[in-house]
Structure 1
């Protein structure tokens, strides 16, 4: 079943409120929808979220690399030849989100051709993923009110606290208020998005040692090599590599050289094929993983659910799957629902990323 077209469609959907993190804020989902079409008319979809301040990709760069660089080489290739496609795309350095979206769209085609859910083809471990919701950059009492609301409405009991502002003041206070207000049965972890120094992070860990935090993600820039490795050695909770491990090679480097002892896996940047390799490495190395969020739409979130539920190692922890709740609309034909703190895997052939054509026409930019 040969590929006859690979397209990249830019679109924009506003958020209800901006999403803030240490390196910036996102006001709109200025994403790229990748479409792979086979000679039999089967269509696969995937979402590519540009994050220029993290990975260097922009909406325009994703469109350009997919249509001008990848498409000419991929057209004519069998959609089942995933490793050949990986080798073709690997010749172009970086551009992780563009590569990941092409891979997921190919998997969507494969599942539809075989008449099987992709989650089952990847491993089929479970039929749902528990949800972690991200909080941050608001006064502590407001964060607690939001968390209580999400627990009451959606049954969510895992929360990620986005930090990286004032480590000893606002960030520590927010963690303490959340723990005291949510109780001991709720999981809380922090993500500084490289916003602190290693010494700042060490002090935060000291001051929050009694709060039972699960782990700390990207406390400082991984290029602060000695400080980062000292922090990993001294910390009583895992230090996670996320944006410092955007692909398989860099994930292995961070773990093997002591830059982290836990990994975030994001299908938006490593697709399904490379993400599975990252998880296999982590499992062999005895390192925990969790499914992260690249401020995903519902289209991107479905891919995370499908992958995370497929493997035992990723299904152990809640995945970051709820950022789409902050969007004013979405492109998915069948909207996602969070019930009892989880999202179920779509019981359809493919990934489950069927696009609403009217919404695509409304929000597309070209």
Structure 2
């Protein structure tokens, strides 16, 4: 790793501190270097607050050194007025002579424009340093702008013989306990890292889940519920005010402060239309937790990015069949005698035929 990569890597470390707090913005870190010494650092802490570049600039004790320094940042500085002033203009105002950028911003409002502002001001710009790593950190943000849909993470636990649950007909039958306590904590960590969480009608009715981050510090995700006919009782946990809830249905009810009903026609284009609606609301990532049919629909449609599957040693003989990605896992790890598999979809499709 050369010195340019070392400083961009430090930007990535800083940027990660914003995880779960900056969505729908990307995670960004910035480092200011003078004579091979870091004199300032910063990252984007929270959506609507200052970006990484001004935070790094403010951390420099001797502002005069800025005119002899290099600013490193993992994502192209913004050039448009949003919640904050454009970072590219601030860099120009501070007369920083050189900027090293990990990757360009995929947002069409920004892409290439921030670099152009810097170059027009005579600033030397270096791009695409640790580009793959920079894109990977903000994979959710890139999915929203490159594919015009949220990043879709599928998650489920299954038994050794391939079942996701026992067969249940009402909420009086408890679900099969497959995941251990540590795995549950990791699931809640995933909830905090993704902007939204999605379940189907059956999961909401049979499990009455709250879908919040009880076992991990962080922001509760937006709850997305698919309820075609309005089967979910209004006193269920998904309707509490602990998180925003979006109910997609053909039978809308009256909106409340925390719950919004959105009409969705449940036809063969349902998943595509759903994801387009979520993208229009600037939701850049969705954790899909169930049920089995909904997970299968996403897989069959090719509308998923990653899948995390926990496999226990249990054998139950019969039950609800777990979905299958149809591909080999990219990685695996054993945690408390449970096998955890990670799948990455490299053959994404953009049309779907589904029913939930």
- TM-score w.r.t. the length of structure 1 is 0.30
Higher relative contact order (CA 8 A, sep 6+): 1
Q: From the two aligned structures, give the one with the greater helix fraction.
A: 1
Higher Rg: 2
